[in-house]
Structure 1
């Protein structure tokens, strides 16, 4: 089956992409929506424009389309994006949804209108086990944004190792945030994964946006 993968460049959409490839799907394109607002309900905002570097490292086609980021209008943008995938020959859409009913249901509803099948291989996956699984399977990613009280901000911009996952899970249990960041507690950017043909080198700077809100701003990628 030919599919497009809804791709933000983070750990979840990258994992979903790998799942699709190893399950035998033909990935005809990655699909990135570029929100104009930071408070988008559907799409990741920090650093998503840099998915083009990941697509190059993967040797895959990518579609990047702007979206208003407004709660209802962005669904119209998603419809247009899915339609473009269908026009390219896609029969299905793969998403990295973990726990967000809003994101998963809206993607499913819009895809169904276009007679596209949807696949969300991470749905309801054990959050803590999943974080270790990423490391064990060779995924390398950096934390690009944090907004949860108690999150270890010193990990911002760092390539996450297994011991860092230990720390994140301890803090998540103590302070009550989601250890896999499904509630927006943090955002990630993948620099290497099993399908990547090369490891990306990312350069940026850390900026504090609020008391518990920090951002790693990507400036350059090699």
Structure 2
């Protein structure tokens, strides 16, 4: 029987690819887990609305666990959520980290404290090859947020493609956005039963961050 897992799910391309690969490797996801900024009502880091996350969960056919927390209690809230999922049968947690040791250590520590197995399907993969694999599989990811020190507002709302990757590289940014150059929202792909409909409202910016307002 496949090992039951919880998937740490940002709604972006890396978490989706890690979910895809975990299923390919025989794991059974019993839920996708997303941390929510309790002052904004949207996901931490990617700024994805709860409504869109619920639509993704429904389309994937995988239950969604929302973890509402502040920056101050983020770590504790994350561990408490893992404990809840362990009580429901999860044996491990899947993460979408690629090669940043500090991130892997943080994730591993959270799991080790709860006695869950940390699982990293993308670990030590080539960044560019992974994002190209994501695209070739048929997933669609819209750029939702950019660091304006690296990329311009014109990238907001664009869907990842091989051509767009070349434009990202021309800015000097990491093609996979692993240094925080951009964040995405995945709205369709082989695991989806239906595409998530997105209406772009406007582009906004503050200091060095640009983001897309959608509904």
TM-score for the superposition, normalised by structure 2: 0.90
| Residue 13 (1) aligns with residue 15 (2) | yes
Q: Name the CA distance, whole Å, in 1 between partners of 2:120 and 2:138.
A: 21
1:140 and 1:160 in contact (8 A); partners too: yes
Offset at residue 56 of structure 1 (A): 0.6
SS of the residue 1:202 aligns to: coil
Structure 1 stretch displaced more, 7-16 or 109-118: 109-118
Between the aligned partners of 2:131 and 2:39, the Cα distance in structure 1 is 28
- Contact 1:37/1:45, CA 8 A, preserved across alignment: no
1:100-151 superposed Cα distances (whole Å, 9 cap, x missing partner): 3333212111211221101111223211222222111111010000014241
CA distance in 2 between partners of 1:110 and 1:145 (Å):
27
User: Against the structure 1 CA distance between its residues 185 and 48, is the aligned structure 2 distance closer, same or farther, given a 3 Å change threshold?
Assistant: farther
Give the equivalent residue in structure 1 for 2:175.
179
Aligned to 2:62: 60
The correspondence of residues 36-115 of structure 1 with structure 2, limited to 5 A, is 36=38, 43-49=44-50, 50-70=52-72, 73-115=73-115
Compare 84-93 and 156-165 and name the one that shifted more. 156-165
Aligned residue number for residue 201 of structure 2:
205
* Partner Cα separation in structure 1 for residue 207 and residue 107 of structure 2: 33
Structure 2 residues without counterparts, runs of 5 or longer: none
1:154 and 2:148 equivalent? Answer: no
2:195 corresponds to 1:217? no
Return structure 1 stretches of 4+ with deviation > 6 angstroms: none
Rounded Cα–Cα distance in structure 1 between residues aligned with 2:123 and 2:143: 22
| CA RMSD across the alignment | 2.0
TM-score (norm 1): 0.87
8 Å CA contact 2:46–2:185 kept in 1: the answer is: no
Distance 2:81 2:190 in 1: 27
C-alpha distance in structure 1 between counterparts of 2:60 and 2:75, whole Å: 28
Q: Secondary structure at the match of 2:104?
A: helix
SS in 2 for 1:181: coil
- Shift of residue 89, structure 1, vs aligned partner: 0.4
Q: Is the 8 A contact 2:57 2:63 kept in 1?
A: yes
Q: CA deviation at 1:210?
A: 3.2
| Cα displacement string for residues 33-59 of structure 1 (whole angstroms, at most 9, x for unaligned residues) | 112478xxxx52411523211111101
The 8 Å contact of residues 5 and 29 in structure 1, kept in 2 or not, is answered as: yes
Q: Secondary structure at the match of 1:9?
A: coil
1:144 and 1:189 in contact (8 A); partners too: yes
Number of aligned residue pairs: give it: 210
CA distance in 2, matches of 1:105, 1:150: 26
Does structure 2 retain, via aligned residues, the 8 Å contact 1:142–1:188? yes
